[in-house]
Chain A
Amino acid sequence: MNTFITKRIAFSIVALFIGSIAMAQQYTSQTVTFGVSSHALVGVNTNTLAFSFASPNAAGNGLVAQSAQASTNLYYSFMPSSPVNGATNGAKIKVNFTGIPSGMSISLQVDDNLITNLSPTIHGDLGNVVGGFSTGASLGSGATDIINGIGASYTGTNYYVLTYEASISDYSDLSSNPTGATPTIQYTITQ
């Protein structure tokens, strides 16, 4: 009896084994999924950008400086969504100032020295600094392109250095406590 049971168990195991091989042989191809998902991340290394205009220390003088500079580092990561269009280019970063105090104007220079030598095969299709911002240009109203042509890419620990210069455009409009909305710098990434 025991021998009979042992034979039946052994037979069942062999049958299951053969069955599993037969099932495995039903597949002639495999679906392979690569987990690359689209994303867009923009970051700067400071919460606030501050321009210093120190008060005069002698009667008859104006503000110590007529202009002030402030810098921030800009990083990004971008992966286009291939089902949309398969395009590798096209994302851009815009900058927009709102609430610039009266009497002030702002210019921007975008330094890409840390970016330009990055390998495209490692860091991807990094963007280009738009026109005059390589050497410095005034920012008007509305959102302005500063970097465009961004494909699948990431800046890594490298970054663009954005140097803003606030200049006094009309002294008579200045105020130590300008009213209105909180001055804001808005960075927009879009494609």
Chain B
Amino acid sequence: MKQLLSLLVIVPMFLTGQVVVNSGLTEEFSIVPGNSQNITVQLKNTSDDPRRITFTLNDYINDCENGYVYVDSILTGESCQPWIRLEADELILLPRESREFQVQVTVPEDFDGPSAKTCLFMNNTALIDSIQQEGMIQFGIQIRYGINILYNNPRIAADIDLYAQSMSIDSISDGHAISISLMNRGNASTTFTSKLDILDNQGNTVYSSNSTRQSIQPLQCRTVSFSAKNLEGNYEMILMSETKEGKIFGFTETLNL
């Protein structure tokens, strides 16, 4: 029964039959400069045909509005792209073949920055029907996996600063959706959880909820969202965010719901 369920779940994923990543999309490491680290990416060809895949490295900028903005140039000082040696630039996987792909990262001995990052793309070849039809504009479809490679320098003290940079309140069917955008103004990646408390004018807690844990990179924004139901009037809200290192950041605001 369990196997049948798994099959039902997996079958739709493979309709286009491309190569998938069976490992994480974030590889974080912290080694002393001058040392090397190997990263293993698990790949699987889910189709009945051989598939060609390519690997490329792209730096990116964290943008609160647009997410990751990929750039063609190397972002000097904050990129670990030059430190990376790929096993190959391209591979051909046989039908249903699984294999590991090795990435070696060597941190230069003289690197004195707090962190560095880049993105390793595993690109499937675009699939397109070979028969072109008159009057049709056809787009081939390509699935691409972006594996963020994040480095934190253990020689530099991690500085995390979660800053609440914007808040929005939207009406929902029986209450309000409260979203707060937090930016990491520090120099290291971390994870955090947030807790929102809403107090009435007598200081009684009328709403309390925890967010799920999220990762956040330097200069990246993450949004924490809460649904406060059946509240109307004026309240005070307190948002407490705690990182995995135990640092706590607070944010208060008056709510008029």
Among A144, A149, A185, point to the contact of B141 (Cβ < 8 A).
Answer: A185
Q: What separation, in Å, do the CA atoms of A184 and B124 have in the docked complex?
A: 12
Interface SS, A side? strand
Residues of B within 8 A of A187 (CB): 141-144
A129 touches B (CB below 8 Å): no
Q: What separation, in Å, do the CA atoms of A45 and B229 have in the docked complex?
A: 38
Residues of B within 8 A of A143 (CB): 68, 70
CB of A46 within 8 A of CB of B24, answer: no
B88 touches A (CB below 8 Å): no
CB of B70 within 8 A of CB of A90, answer: no
CB of A45 within 8 A of CB of B12, answer: yes
B128 touches A (CB below 8 Å): yes
- Residue of B27, B68, B141 with most partner-chain A CB within 10 A: B141
CB of A182 within 8 A of CB of B67, answer: no
Q: How many A-B residue pairs have CB under 8 A?
A: 202
Residues of B within 8 A of A149 (CB): 223
Residues of A within 8 A of B24 (CB): 38, 40, 80-81, 84, 191
| Interchain nearest-CB distance for A86 vs B (Å) | 6
Q: What separation, in Å, do the CA atoms of A17 and B141 have in the docked complex?
A: 64
Known: A50-B136, A85-B191, A90-B215. A80 touches B142 (CB 8 A): no
CB of B140 within 8 A of CB of A80, answer: no
Interface SS, B side? strand
Among A157, A159, A182, A190, point to the contact of B126 (Cβ < 8 A).
Answer: A182
Q: What separation, in Å, do the CA atoms of A89 and B190 have in the docked complex?
A: 13
Residues of B within 8 A of A50 (CB): 129, 133, 136-139
- B residues 171-214 touching A (CB-CB < 8 Å): 189-191, 212-214
Q: Mark B209-251, 1 if CB is under 8 A from A, else 0.
A: 0001111000000110000000000000000000010000000
Chain A interface extent, by class = 35 or more
Smallest Cβ-Cβ distance to B21: which chain A residue: A40
Among A39, A97, A144, point to the contact of B21 (Cβ < 8 A).
Answer: A39
Residues of B within 8 A of A148 (CB): 67
Q: What separation, in Å, do the CA atoms of A188 and B143 have in the docked complex?
A: 6
CB of B142 within 8 A of CB of A142, answer: no
A166 touches B (CB below 8 Å): yes
Which one of B77-85, B102-110, B145-153 is at the interface? B145-153
Known: A85-B28, A94-B67. A37 touches B139 (CB 8 A): no
Q: What separation, in Å, do the CA atoms of A90 and B220 have in the docked complex?
A: 11
Residues of A within 8 A of B26 (CB): 80-81, 84-85, 90, 191
- A residues 32-73 touching B (CB-CB < 8 Å): 37-55, 68, 72-73
Smallest Cβ-Cβ distance to B190: which chain A residue: A85
Smallest Cβ-Cβ distance to A43: which chain B residue: B13
Residues of B within 8 A of A159 (CB): 12
CB of B16 within 8 A of CB of A39, answer: no
Residues of B within 8 A of A145 (CB): 66-67
CB of B15 within 8 A of CB of A88, answer: no
A14 touches B (CB below 8 Å): no
10 contacts between A and B (CB under 8 A): A39-B20, A44-B16, A47-B128, A47-B141, A49-B138, A85-B26, A89-B214, A186-B126, A187-B142, A191-B148
- Known contacts A43-B18, A48-B140, A72-B141; can you find 15 more A-B pairs with CB under 8 A? A37-B22, A37-B42, A41-B20, A44-B15, A44-B141, A47-B140, A48-B128, A52-B135, A84-B24, A84-B27, A85-B213, A92-B67, A182-B140, A190-B147, A191-B146
B residues near A (Cβ < 8 Å) are 8-10, 12-16, 18, 20-28, 42, 46, 66-70, 119, 121, 126-129, 133-148, 189-191, 212-215, 222-223, 244
